[in-house]
C-alpha cells in the first residue's frame, strides 16, 4: 500500500500545471479584469470599472466555450476548471459589485449592509449550484450571477441623468433586487450555451467598452 500511495503521489500533477490549460487562462484573464474593476471602483473611476466588469463576463463565457471544444481534457482537468471558475465567480460577481456599491456610497455604513447582502447572496447562490447544478439539466435555479454585472453595467449608463444621492439609492436598490433574484426559485436559461447569445454578448461587450471608453477620454 505504501508503494502504491507513493506512486500515486508521483503521478499527481503540480498545481501550476493547470495554468497551461487554455480555459483556465481565460478564467484568470477574467479575474484580472475583475481586479481592475475593483481597483477603479475604489478610485471612483466608474467608467473604467464598468469596462473591467463586462470583460470579466466575456472571459467567463469564453472559458466554457473553449473547454467544450478542447479534446483530450481529463476528468481532473474539468473538475479543476470548474472549481477555479466558481472561486473566480464569487470575486467577479460578488466582491466586485459589493465594492462598487460601497465606493459609490462613499463607504457609508448603510452601504456596508447592502454590500454584505449582495455578497452573501452570491456565495449562497454558488454553493447551491455546486451541489445541485442545473435544474432539469438546462436551467439555473435563481438568476445566474453573471447577469448581475451585465445589468449593473447597463444601469450605470444612466448615472448622469440623476443626482449622486438619487443614483446611489438606485444602485443600492438594484443590488438588493439582484441579490433577491439570485437566491430565488425562478428558473432561467443557461445563456452562455447558446451561440446566438455569445454573439449578443460580444456586441454588448464591445459596445459598452466603446461607450465607457469615450467617457474616459
Q: Give the Å distances, CA to CA, from 155 to 2, 47, 68, 110, 171.
A: 59, 12, 32, 21, 8
What per-residue confidence (pLDDT) applies to 145?
Answer: 95
H and E: helices and strands count for the chain: 9, 2
Q: What is the pLDDT of residues 17-65, one digit of tens each?
A: 888 888 999 999 999 999 999 999 999 999 999 999 999 999 999 988 8
Read off the pLDDT of residues 136-145 as tens digits, 9 standing for 90 and up: 878 999 999 9
Residue 138 contacts residue 189 (beta carbons within 8 Å)? yes
> What pLDDT is stored for residue 194 in this prediction?
76
Average pLDDT estimate for 1-5 = 50
- Cα 141 to Cα 149: distance, rounded to the nearest angstrom: 18
Cell 448615472: give the residue: 159
> Which CATH homologous superfamily contains domain 18-216?
CDP-alcohol phosphotransferase transmembrane (TM) domain (1.20.120.1760)
Structure-model confidence comparison of residues 148 and 21, the more confident one: 148
pLDDT-derived band at 1 (thresholds 50, 70, 90) equals: very low
Cβ pair 148, 97 in contact under 8 A: yes
Q: Which residues of 175-205 are buried (b: 16+ CB within 10 A; e: fewer)?
A: bbebbebbbeeeeeeebbeeeeebeebeebb
Name, in order, each residue with C-beta under 8 angstroms of 204's C-beta and a sequence gap of 6 or more: 54, 150
Residue 36 has a pLDDT of 98
Q: CB–CB of 58/201 below 8 Å?
A: yes
Integer Cα distance of 137 and 140 in angstroms: 9
Average pLDDT, whole number, for the chain? Answer: 91
CB 156 within 8 A of CB 208: no
Tens of pLDDT along 159-178?
999 999 999 999 999 999 99
Average pLDDT over residues 175-195: 91
E-strand stretches of the chain: 139-141, 187-189
Q: What is the CA radius of gyration of the chain?
A: 19
pLDDT of residue 9: 54
Identify the bridge partners of residue 139 per DSSP, sorted by sequence position: 135, 189
C-alpha cell at 137: 439539466
Spacing of C-alpha 194 from chain mean position = 18
Amino acid at each position: 500500500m505504501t508503494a502504491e500511495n507513493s506512486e500515486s503521489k508521483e503521478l499527481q500533477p503540480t498545481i501550476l500545471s493547470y495554468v497551461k490549460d487554455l480555459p483556465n487562462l481565460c478564467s484568470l484573464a477574467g479575474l484580472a479584469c475583475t481586479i481592475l474593476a475593483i481597483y477603479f471602483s475604489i478610485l471612483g473611476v466608474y467608467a473604467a470599472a464598468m469596462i473591467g466588469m463586462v470583460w470579466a463576463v466575456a472571459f467567463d463565457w469564453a472559458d466554457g466555450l473553449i473547454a467544450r471544444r478542447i479534446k483530450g481534457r481529463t476528468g481532473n482537468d474539468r473538475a479543476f476548471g470548474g472549481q477555479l471558475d466558481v472561486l473566480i465567480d464569487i470575486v467577479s460577481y460578488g466582491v466586485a459589485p459589493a465594492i462598487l456599491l460601497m465606493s459609490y456610497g462613499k463607504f457609508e455604513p448603510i452601504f456596508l449592509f447592502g454590500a454584505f447582502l449582495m455578497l452573501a447572496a452570491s456565495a449562497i447562490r454558488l454553493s447551491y449550484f455546486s451541489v445541485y447544478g442545473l435544474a432539469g439539466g438546462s436551467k439555473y435555479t435563481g438568476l445566474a450571477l453573471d447577469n448581475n454585472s451585465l445589468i449593473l453595467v447597463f444601469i450605470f449608463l444612466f448615472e448622469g441623468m440623476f443626482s449622486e444621492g438619487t443614483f446611489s439609492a438606485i444602485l443600492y436598490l438594484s443590488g438588493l433586487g439582484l441579490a433577491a433574484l439570485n437566491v430565488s426559485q425562478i428558473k432561467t436559461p443557461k445563456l452562455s450555451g447558446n451561440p446566438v447569445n455569445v454573439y449578443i454578448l460580444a456586441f454588448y461587450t464591445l459596445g459598452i467598452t466603446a461607450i465607457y471608453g469615450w467617457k474616459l477620454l
